[in-house]
Structure 1
């Protein structure tokens, strides 16, 4: 192993990676396509899952193009960063000479990231945006000292900068809030226009993670999606509008999702979206197989290639297999400098998962038996067919969205990918890409059926009430319904599975209800599966399980056998001796995705 290799995991600043001699997978060849292809594409939207290198690549573009504002003819910064660094980056080659002459260090660049913009309410989120814009005013402060600028523009610049600094935390005042919204819509065009006037050169505008504020607006305790959408639409319209000012050279935007309805980019001029299947940029984000093989070889980890492929490969971007760069770099860093050489799910706790949780919390589609079966197939390593649906608006996730829309969201966010041989539009076939994402699914599954999920938790609370009150017909229907939803039903090989299912469900809810829960406690001549005790109502319910074949008569027979065992082994005797008023005996027969309950009634009578 080559332990001398340095990884700056999580660093998304291109210059830091180069200057500190950290490992870098060269993506500079794509600069030629972006700026010299002769394409009429003015503005580009790159859609990729979280942690696929969007921020680093956008910073690469910024650093390569950015003009030296104090000395516009000086390209020494880029020369040192891209050419004379001993790395033999693609952009240093002879075939990129024209690109270097025309683009490298030649253009003003305005770059802003919305990655961290969020708030519990609208005012807090606007405050975050105002802070971001305030940093832009600080960056280009030299413009107010220029004799080339109009005095009115300079005065407006000063006032806006002062507001961003002094009023950022005073947006509860409606007047301040309205002023802030106005500034957000005009700040970048204002600065860009002044840069164009200053240098006579068109401006590149970069916006990273444009959709994060919209996502956060939906999941907030007090959702404010409509208000945030208005800000982002106004901002993008003023920057990328069809009748744009002469100052715009190119707009470059990144995000996780493209919103179709109420499009953010309705008024944008010549905006092209490059999704996971849109050449020529399918290899621009993430690591290709060749790049991954080189990385492992450089680390002295080539023997780990198969294991790495199983855990971090599997994403299909057009005809390329792409590895998650965050995960791969994290893995190599851990093996070389950490305490284990075992693959881990590094991606599981990264951003972008809130929408998945929201769907499972709020949509009945997440609990539809047919859809649960499809999710189970994914968990089993199989493929499923879906129809790609244009994602409409984030608030849809608080309502009943279709399973196909949900799966399209999963595709965009990296939870599933196109299967080999699948079409890339329309009716497609998808699968879980690798072991790492499998771990993500397993974690989500535990959440989906855990006490933190209100839908599942409320079902469990209801079931405990029904069992402690001996309402067996309703309990039977509810258990069967829950079994149909439970993702792991395919693993029901023996009685222990159903035992674990019931113990998990009832155990969680019993504590919340103040009901004593006992699993296989010694009672009479044996150990009943579950005993529930509620001293407040002077009630005990003794429950025994049996598993049979997936046939109705077999389930009935098993339930009768389970009930008989309660009698034969005298499971209820200790509670009868303690003079409980209500002592119920319940036998449950399981088979497939259904159950049958046989009640012994109140044994104390």
Structure 2
């Protein structure tokens, strides 16, 4: 195992990676197609999951193209960074010589990231955007000292810059909010126009994670999606519009969900969206099999290749198998620096899971029996068919959305991938890509059964109340409903499974109500399955569970359970303690159904 390989996890600045001689998987071969090809793609939107290298690649483009503003024509910075670094990057080859002469260090570049733009309410998010725009004004402040610029442009530049610095905290005021929104929508075109006038060269505009503000607007405590959409649409229209001034060379935008083309970029000129399966960029983000094999060999970890593939392989981008770069780099760092070669779920703790969590917390669709069955199929390694959805807006997961909408989001965000042989549009087949994502699915499934999920938790509380009141008709209906929602028929072959199911429901809820809860407690001459004991109310519910294969035998199984309660005298312990109500209840399970038989209050029968 090599200890000499340097990994800069979390560093997304290309120059830092190169200058510190850190490990870098070469993606420079894509630059020529993107920046100087006959495809006439003027503006490109790249859709990829979080942590798949979008930010690093966009910064690489920025560093390669950026003009030396103080000394135009000086390309020594790029020469050192991309050519004379001893790495033999693709772009340093002789076949890229003409490309380097025409593109490298030749363009003013405006680059902005929306990755951290969020807020509990609209004004807070606008404040974050103003901060980002203020950084651009600081970067290009030198333009205000130029004799080539119109005095009115310089005056407006300085006014906007001062607003970003001094008025950011006052955006809660209506007039300041309006002015802030106007600056956000016009800052990049204003700066770009001045750069074009200054150097006589067209400008490249890069926007990273354009959709983060929209996602955060949906899940905010006070949602403000429409207001944020209006800002992003105005901003993109002013930058990429069809009738803009001739200062734009190319626009390069990244995001997670394929929402943009129908809404945010309606007025854009020649905007092309490149999804996971769109050539020629299927290998531009993420690590291919060949790149991964080399990475592991360079780290002395080739013997771990099989295990690494199980954990981090499986994404299908076009015809390529793609590994998550964040997970691989994190794994190799742990292995080489900490001697820890045990795979871990690195990616799932860093990706944007807010929308996924909101679905499981709020949507009734996440509790639909058929949908739960599909989720379980996925977790068992099976493929699932869905209809791929194209979004014109972000789905409102606070309300009911379809399973197909949810799974399309999961596909875009990296939780599932296209199965081998699947079409990649309309009707598609999906699967969980690897063990890392399976771990995440299992964690998400725990949300469905935990106290943090209000739907499941409230159902459990209701069931305890019904059983402690001996309301067996409603209890039977509720348990049957929950069985259909949460259990897969493939998992109902063992009585212990139903036992665990009931424990998961009743244990949590009983504790909340301050009832004593026991499993396999010794009572009478045997051990009853479950006992819920309210000493304060002198009420106890004794549950005996039986499983049968056939639905028609379910009632008989419940009768058998009640007979066992009588035969083994489970009630005597509580009757001797002068309990007023001792309910004996037998439950028979078969597949996804149940029958309940109650013996009534056994205290009355003894008396």
The TM-score normalised by the length of structure 2 is 0.97
1:314-358 CA distance string (max 9 Å, x none): 111111111111111111111111242111111111222111111
Name the counterpart of 2:463.
463
1:456 Cα shift? 1.1
**Root mean square deviation, CA, Å:** 1.3
Name the counterpart of 1:399.
399
1:489 Cα shift? 5.4
Three-state SS of the structure 2 residue aligned to 1:26 is coil
1:485-525 CA distance string (max 9 Å, x none): 22565333322211111111111112222322222222222
Name the counterpart of 1:370.
370
1:73-107 CA distance string (max 9 Å, x none): 11111011001100000000011111111111110
1:395 Cα shift? 4.1
Name the counterpart of 1:359.
359
Contact 1:261 1:393 in 2 (8 A): no
Task: State the distance in 2 between where 1:583 and 1:261 align.
Answer: 64
Distance 1:374-1:395 versus aligned 2 partners, 3 A rule: closer
Name the counterpart of 1:588.
587
1:262 Cα shift? 5.8
1:455-485 CA distance string (max 9 Å, x none): 1111111111111111111111111111122
Three-state SS of the structure 2 residue aligned to 1:503 is helix
Task: State the distance in 1 between where 2:291 and 2:212 align.
Answer: 29
Q: Give the ranges of 4+ consecutive aligned residues of structure 1 lying more than 4 Å apart after TM superposition.
A: none
Gapped runs of 5+ residues in structure 2?
none
Three-state SS of the structure 2 residue aligned to 1:483 is helix
1:393 Cα shift? 2.1
1:405-437 CA distance string (max 9 Å, x none): 211111111111111111111211111111111
Name the counterpart of 1:566.
565
Task: State the distance in 1 between where 2:264 and 2:252 align.
Answer: 14
Distance 1:489-1:212 versus aligned 2 partners, 3 A rule: farther
Three-state SS of the structure 2 residue aligned to 1:563 is helix
1:190 Cα shift? 0.8
Three-state SS of the structure 2 residue aligned to 1:21 is coil
Name the counterpart of 2:15.
15
Aligned: 1:384 with 2:384: yes
Contact 1:48 1:256 in 2 (8 A): yes
* 1:152-171 to 2 correspondences below 5 Å: 152-171=152-171
Task: State the distance in 2 between where 1:501 and 1:304 align.
Answer: 37
Task: State the distance in 2 between where 1:170 and 1:408 align.
Answer: 39
Name the counterpart of 1:497.
497
Bigger mean CA offset, 394-403 vs 310-319: 394-403
* 1:92-103 to 2 correspondences below 5 Å: 92-103=92-103
Name the counterpart of 2:540.
540
Name the counterpart of 2:45.
45
1:501-556 CA distance string (max 9 Å, x none): 1111111112222322222222222221211122454321111111221x223222
Task: State the distance in 1 between where 2:407 and 2:160 align.
Answer: 43
Task: State the distance in 2 between where 1:489 and 1:61 align.
Answer: 52
Task: State the distance in 2 between where 1:493 and 1:338 align.
Answer: 43
Three-state SS of the structure 1 residue aligned to 2:277 is coil
Three-state SS of the structure 2 residue aligned to 1:272 is strand
Aligned: 1:523 with 2:523: yes
Number of positions where the alignment pairs a residue of Structure 1 with one of Structure 2: 604
